[in-house]
Amino acid sequence: MSHFSTIKTQIKCLTTLKKALADLGYEFTESQSFVQVRGYLGNETQAMLSIHVSKKYDVGVVVTNKGIEFIADWWGVETTRGVTQEQFIQQVIQRYAFHKIKAECEKLGFTLDTEEEKEDQQIYVRLTKWQ
């Protein structure tokens, strides 16, 4: 019996996703073919990237033509890491968006001066542009 479920996202760039995961302190294994994603009672599935959220559970990353999907045994992730599916996805999307915005601003000639995360989990940035 499989306990894996898939979450579809609008995330498209694997490189930017990896920056976001590094910011959040997640280690991961990547392969051009497939890596194993661990779940309940040693069940496994395959993905292109395996995010190691605990000693027994991973979150897999599958790249499709519509975007990146996360596959995991979310019960196991929550019980061993203390983060729900919703919290994990929200944290990753927030850091992903930060890196996408930063990259786009740099293309337009802006420089990131400061970054501050407030208690309400919002990120405030200050940019400058020299002309």
Domain ranges of the chain: 5-128
pTM of the model: 0.86
| pLDDT for res 1 | 47
Number of C-alpha atoms within 13 angstroms, CB side, residue 9?
24
Q: Residues of the chain whose pLDDT is less than 50? A: 1
* Beta pairing partners, 35: 47
8 Å CB contact between 52 and 27: yes
Could you tell me the end-to-end alpha-carbon distance of the chain, in angstroms, rounded to an integer? Answer: 61
